[in-house]
Amino acid sequence: MIDWLLCILVANTFADPFRDGWAPVLVLIVEYGFFIGLFAQTPGMYITRVRCVSWVSGGRIGVLRALLRGALLALVVPALIMDVNRRGLHDRAAGSVVTSVAR
């Protein structure tokens, strides 16, 4: 929810996010590509103390895989279909998993 509100605020600088529904979605995909790809966390993930890392290595997934994850997440349906490890289709396609941050 935190990331979505940030996306609406950013999208408001170049479009009307309530009239042009594509604008915040585009910002969300770019936000995921940048923040998850480089830092393993979006601002909302930082606040809620979770991160998105590689399923195999536990490291960052990189910008391209984060963009793929964000694009699939924007479709909503992949997030609703989870496996036994609570990984949605978007996480499985990107080879990622969301984990809590150690204190």
Whether residue 77 is predicted with pLDDT greater than 90 in this model: the reply is no
> How much is the average pLDDT of 32-60?
96
Q: Which residues contact 90 (CB under 8 A, 6 or more apart)?
A: 68, 69, 72, 73, 75, 78, 79
How far apart are alpha carbons 94 and 79 in whole angstroms?
12
- Measured CA to CA in angstroms, residue 65 lies from 9, 52, 93 at distances of 25, 11, 8
pTM of the complete model: 0.89
| Residue type at 38 in one-letter notation | L
**What is the per-residue pLDDT across 8-39, written as a single tens digit (0 to 9) for each?**
999 999 999 889 889 999 999 999 999 999 99
Q: Where are the beta strands (DSSP E) in the chain?
A: 50-54, 96-100
